[in-house]
């Protein structure tokens, strides 16, 4: 098992290097380089242009430029973005990435929780109207044209009902008098969210040791205490209403993404459950006289969870894919919008940076999936 | 089969008197019949087929309408303009059943014409995917070793790359048309996820006894891969074809929604035109955005439904009985 993990880690790192190379070469192979854009001034003589090109290092062979880029990459320097001049690419990524990650992590967690619960109920009640109805709804949501669906959500919840703002990250009018900038508040929010998530997780693990009757009240109590703590902290900082503004802008995108993603999870869970239900231990559990609910929740669904858990981790790797569409519709200034903007303006350093960011994210997710697989299913033997 | 026949038993000899291709044809027909029966048991798959057929009719009807009823100057999906109406976009009327777009073109005509692009894109992408995935999967499962490592690392690499993101970058920097896009999507999914799934299926086929029998009978590598492994991979490949049609159509729609593709007309482009003219949030002009969006969703869903129904045919564990 340890050998397997070490081999997988080595393989993943190798793949990441291949990815870096592929991204660099792909963008280098585009017609014209960014020197053409930079030196587009018609008053420059050819000699001046050649000197400037040499100064930029654009006359060197691809291999040499790649080596320089790679060295800079490991120093954490991805160059300067053209479309956000004079900001550094790394700077832009560090600002935008958390916004994308928080949006997608919350949406994915919500989608997987609801999808898993729905999927296991669906697999239990085969046949009948319910199955066709949910399958058709599920497939409809799974294949829906996301820009259109997001627009409909905006139209209904934001435009008609006026429950949420129509887009953007914050409300500029409210923030005009703000004592601190948005990043400060947002980073505090991220910190609060991660600390409370960890505390909650520890609490839930602790609650599992209690006897079954006390578990549920204990979890609810813990959640309540944590929520009260968060409210107390934010009301004491004095910037609570700015944080509430960002949260208010966050709800509709999360809701949209979760609605679209949950369908796929539901269908996957259903298929996985149907395969699990054929196993002998399900029949054994029933023969023991366990209740249907107990068989479903403790015997079937835990074993059916394996592919769902893997797909959850891998879904986190693809935040940028869905991000481009959702962030465009909601004008959410995250990595997806940045990438689309940079690609349309031929901002090669920014595009490279965004792709590398995705690569890092995907690499981490794949490693996590491998480790998770090894721990969740002891039946799989690794040689 | 011919080697196994014993000349003493007359019934077997009588069967063998019919040529081998006839036996094969009969077996094939019987297989198809059983599978069609299984497929038809599932109303979901039939609904999918029905929707695909509906769009097929729309596609076929367009050139006929242009030849007979519609005036090409007014109803051309790309260059048409109706001078009889003062304001564009105009709401649905007797002459324009789904109204006109901001540039004065007939929406129904655009919708019908774009069906052809959607079908050809989806089918080319699916064929490329399946061709690559089946060949690579069979070869790397059969030979293993270096070939396998090479293709599997490539698949890992492609799985790691978010498809839509990389295509947005490519489309923004290059001049992509429908066919290029179809081939690129096909290659991305063919060398990526589809290969891994088909290879794992090929690995279970490789250890079956009939492969050993074929080798003992003197079959070469090429013969075993082409005649024994690939035919047994076909059902799974066909299933993945349906899913890759879905993803190809969806990806094309997204890219042309962003206005990144060099194509003359497609469903995604219709929505792009709407949003470019500033009517995206104006739901009173529903005919600008609903027909195209619903068409994309429905055609994607139809191929997906057919794929799911086929999944139950190919994978017996999902069946009800």
* Predicted local distance difference test score (pLDDT) of residue B164: 86
Q: Is B246 on the interface with A (CB under 8 A)?
A: yes
Angstrom distances, CA of residue B192 to CA of A83, A178, A355, B13, B125: 32, 49, 18, 48, 13
CA distance linking residue A319 with residue B164, whole number of Å: 11
Cis peptide, bond prior to residue B89, ω within 30 of zero:
yes
DSSP bridge partners of A88? A80
* Predicted local distance difference test score (pLDDT) of residue B111: 92
Assigned token pair, A340: 């689309």
* Predicted local distance difference test score (pLDDT) of residue A116: 92
pLDDT in tens, A62-99: 899 899 999 999 888 888 888 888 889 999 999 998 88
In a domain, A116, yes or no: yes
B174 to A271: CB separation less than 8 angstroms, yes or no: no
* Residue numbers in B near A148 (CB within 8 A): 271, 289, 293, 296-297
Assigned token pair, A55: 């100064």
Assigned token pair, B249: 């159509």
**Which A residues, 180 through 209, put their C-beta within 8 Å of a C-beta on chain B?**
none
In a domain, A104, yes or no: yes
What is the pLDDT averaged over residues B19-38? 84
Across A60-64, A370-374, B148-152, least confident range = A370-374
pLDDT in tens, A314-328: 787 777 777 788 888
Cα first-last separation, chain A: 7
- Closest residue of chain B to A17, computed from CA coordinates: B157
The DSSP element (H or E) to which B188 belongs, if any, is helix B178-191
CB B228 within 8 A of CB B210: yes
Q: Is the dihedral of CA A178, A182, A325, B104 positive or negative?
A: positive
Q: What is the DSSP string of A37-101?
A: HHT--TTS-HHHHHHHHHHHTTTS-HHHHHHHHHHHHHTT---B-STTTTSBHHHHHHHHHHHHH
* Residue numbers in B near A318 (CB within 8 A): 162
We find that the CATH architecture of domain B115-264+304-321 is Orthogonal Bundle (1.10)
- Which among B153, B165, B317 has CB closest to A324? B165
B172 to A346: CB separation less than 8 angstroms, yes or no: yes
Determine the distance in angstroms separating the CA of B164 from the nearest CA of chain A, rounded to an integer: 6
In a domain, A60, yes or no: no
Q: What is the DSSP string of A269-311?
A: HHHHHHHHTTSHHHHHHHHTT--HHHIIIIIIHHHHHHHHHHH
pLDDT in tens, B257-280: 988 888 888 999 998 988 888 887
Angstrom distances, CA of residue B242 to CA of A170, A207, B225, B247, B261: 42, 46, 24, 9, 24
CA distance linking residue B186 with residue B191, whole number of Å: 8
CA distance linking residue A330 with residue A322, whole number of Å: 12
CA distance linking residue B53 with residue B259, whole number of Å: 29
The phi and psi torsions of B165 (rounded to 5 degrees) equal -60, -50
pLDDT in tens, A233-272: 888 887 888 888 888 999 999 999 999 888 889 988 888 8
Q: Is A126 on the interface with B (CB under 8 A)?
A: yes
Angle of CA points B280, A256, A312, to nearest 5°: 135
pLDDT in tens, B91-109: 888 888 888 888 888 899 9
Best residue in B148, B152, B157, B160 for a mutation probing chain A (most A CBs within 10 Å): B160
- Closest residue of chain B to A133, computed from CA coordinates: B44
Q: Is the dihedral of CA A250, A256, A257, A262 positive or negative?
A: positive
| Residue ranges making up the domain that contains A264 | 93-304
CB B65 within 8 A of CB B119: no
pLDDT in tens, B62-78: 999 988 888 888 888 88
> Angle between the B178-191 and B193-206 helix axes, to the nearest 10 degrees?
50
**Which A residues, 325 through 344, put their C-beta within 8 Å of a C-beta on chain B?**
325, 328, 336, 339-340, 343-344
CA distance linking residue B82 with residue B68, whole number of Å: 17
A139 to B164: CB separation less than 8 angstroms, yes or no: no
* Predicted local distance difference test score (pLDDT) of residue B18: 76
Q: Which residues make Cβ contacts (< 8 Å) with residue B76, sequence separation at least 6?
A: B66, B105, B109
State the total domains in chain A.
Answer: 1
CB pairs under 8 A between A and B: 125
Taking residue A221's Cβ as centre, other Cβ atoms within 10 Å add up to 13
- Closest residue of chain B to A344, computed from CA coordinates: B172
Confidence category of residue B317, pLDDT binned at 50, 70, 90: low
* Predicted local distance difference test score (pLDDT) of residue B318: 64
Residue owning tokens 């069946």: B319
Taking residue A324's Cβ as centre, other Cβ atoms within 10 Å add up to 25
Best residue in B166, B170, B172 for a mutation probing chain A (most A CBs within 10 Å): B172
B165 to A321: CB separation less than 8 angstroms, yes or no: yes
B297 to A19: CB separation less than 8 angstroms, yes or no: no
Assigned token pair, B241: 């074809």
* Predicted local distance difference test score (pLDDT) of residue B278: 82
CB A286 within 8 A of CB A313: no
Assigned token pair, A371: 């480790």
Assigned token pair, A83: 């479309």
A136 to B164: CB separation less than 8 angstroms, yes or no: no
Across A198-202, A341-345, A370-374, B258-262, least confident range = A370-374
* Predicted local distance difference test score (pLDDT) of residue A321: 77
CA distance linking residue B2 with residue B13, whole number of Å: 10
User: Residue A169 pLDDT > 50, yes or no?
Assistant: yes
* Predicted local distance difference test score (pLDDT) of residue B3: 47
pLDDT in tens, B198-249: 888 888 888 888 888 998 998 888 999 988 888 888 888 888 888 899 999 9
* Predicted local distance difference test score (pLDDT) of residue A382: 56
CA distance linking residue A20 with residue A71, whole number of Å: 12
CA distance linking residue B180 with residue A62, whole number of Å: 26
Torsion of CA B84, B87, B90, B95, to 10 degrees: 0
Complex ipTM more than 0.85, yes or no:
no
In a domain, A276, yes or no: yes
Assigned token pair, A82: 């053209």
DSSP bridge partners of A80? A88
What percent of chain A lies above the pLDDT cut of 70? 98
CA distance linking residue A37 with residue A84, whole number of Å: 15
CA distance linking residue A50 with residue A52, whole number of Å: 5
- Closest residue of chain B to A158, computed from CA coordinates: B281
* Predicted local distance difference test score (pLDDT) of residue B1: 43
Ranges of each domain in chain B = 115-264+304-321
Closest CA to A12 of A269, A318, A361: A361
Query: Mean pLDDT, chain A, as a whole number?
Result: 85
- Closest residue of chain A to B42, computed from CA coordinates: A132
- Which among A140, A155, A321 has CB closest to B283? A155
B160 to A151: CB separation less than 8 angstroms, yes or no: no
A343 to B168: CB separation less than 8 angstroms, yes or no: yes
DSSP bridge partners of B100? B106
Taking residue B285's Cβ as centre, other Cβ atoms within 10 Å add up to 19
What percent of chain B lies above the pLDDT cut of 90? 27
CA distance linking residue A207 with residue B156, whole number of Å: 39
């Amino acid at each position: 098992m340890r050998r397997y993990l070490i081999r997988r880690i080595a393989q993943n790192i190798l793949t990441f290097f291949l990815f870096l190379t592929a991204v660099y070469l792909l963008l280098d192979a585009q017609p014209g380089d960014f020197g053409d854009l930079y030196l587009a001034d018609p008053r420059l003589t050819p000699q001046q242009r050649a000197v400037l090109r040499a100064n930029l290092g654009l006359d060197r062979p691809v291999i040499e430029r790649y080596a320089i880029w790679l060295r800079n990459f490991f120093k954490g320097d991805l160059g300067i973005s053209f479309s956000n001049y004079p900001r550094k690419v790394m700077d832009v990524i560090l600002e935008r990435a958390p916004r994308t990650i928080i949006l997608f992590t919350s949406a994915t967690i919500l989608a997987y929780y609801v999808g898993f619960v729905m999927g296991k109920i669906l697999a239990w009640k085969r046949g009948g109207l319910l199955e066709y109805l949910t399958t058709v709804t599920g497939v409809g949501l799974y294949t829906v044209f996301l820009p259109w669906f997001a627009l409909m959500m905006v139209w209904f919840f934001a435009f008609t009902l006026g429950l949420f703002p129509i887009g953007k990250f914050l409300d500029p009018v409210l923030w005009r008098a703000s004592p601190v900038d948005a990043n400060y508040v947002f980073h505090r929010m991220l910190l609060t969210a991660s600390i409370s998530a960890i505390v909650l997780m520890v609490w839930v693990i602790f609650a599992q040791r209690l006897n079954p009757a006390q578990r549920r009240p204990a979890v609810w109590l813990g959640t309540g205490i944590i929520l009260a703590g968060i409210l107390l902290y934010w009301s004491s900082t004095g910037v609570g209403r700015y944080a509430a503004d960002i949260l208010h802008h966050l709800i509709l995108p999360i809701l949209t993404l979760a609605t679209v993603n949950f369908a796929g999870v539901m269908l996957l869970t259903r298929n996985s459950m149907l395969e699990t239900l054929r196993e002998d231990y399900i029949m054994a559990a029933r023969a023991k006289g366990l209740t249907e609910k107990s068989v479903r929740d403790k015997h079937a669904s835990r074993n059916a969870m394996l592919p769902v858990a893997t797909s959850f981790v891998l879904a986190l790797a693809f935040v940028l894919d869905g991000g481009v569409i959702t962030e465009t519709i909601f004008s959410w200034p995250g990595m997806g919008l940045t990438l689309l903007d940079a690609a349309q303006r031929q901002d090669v350093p920014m595009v490279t940076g965004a792709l590398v960011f995705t690569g890092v994210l995907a690499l981490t997710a794949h490693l996590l999936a491998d480790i998770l697989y090894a721990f969740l299913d002891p039946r799989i033997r690794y040689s | 089969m011919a080697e196994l026949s014993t000349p003493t038993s007359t019934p077997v000899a009588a069967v063998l008197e019919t040529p081998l291709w006839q036996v094969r044809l009969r077996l094939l027909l019987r297989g198809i019949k059983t599978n069609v029966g299984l497929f038809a048991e599932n109303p979901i798959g039939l609904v999918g087929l029905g929707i695909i057929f509906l769009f097929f009719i729309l596609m076929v009807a367009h050139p006929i309408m242009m030849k007979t009823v519609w005036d090409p100057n007014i109803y051309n999906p790309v260059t048409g303009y109706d001078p009889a109406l003062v304001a564009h976009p105009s709401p649905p009327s007797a002459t324009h059943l789904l109204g006109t777009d901001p540039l004065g073109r007939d929406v129904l005509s655009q919708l019908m014409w774009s069906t052809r692009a959607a079908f050809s894109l989806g089918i080319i992408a699916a064929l490329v995917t399946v061709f690559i995935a089946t060949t690579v999967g069979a070869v790397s499962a059969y030979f293993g070793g270096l070939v396998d490592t090479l293709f599997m690392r490539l698949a890992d690499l492609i799985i790691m790359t978010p498809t839509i993101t990389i295509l947005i970058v490519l489309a923004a920097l290059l001049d992509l048309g429908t066919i290029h896009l179809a081939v690129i999507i096909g290659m991305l999914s063919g060398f990526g996820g589809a290969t891994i799934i088909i290879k794992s299926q090929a690995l279970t086929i490789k250890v079956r006894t009939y492969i050993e029998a074929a080798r003992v009978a003197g079959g070469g590598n090429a013969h075993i891969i082409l005649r024994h492994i690939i035919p047994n991979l076909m059902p799974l490949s066909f299933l993945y074809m349906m899913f890759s049609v879905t993803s190809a159509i969806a990806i094309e729609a997204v890219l042309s929604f962003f206005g990144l593709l060099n194509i003359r007309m497609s469903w995604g482009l219709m929505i792009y035109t709407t949003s470019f003219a500033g009517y995206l949030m104006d739901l009173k002009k529903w005919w600008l955005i609903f027909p195209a969006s619903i068409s994309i969703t429905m055609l994607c869903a139809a191929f997906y439904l057919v794929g799911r129904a086929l999944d139950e045919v190919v994978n017996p564990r999902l069946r009800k009985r």
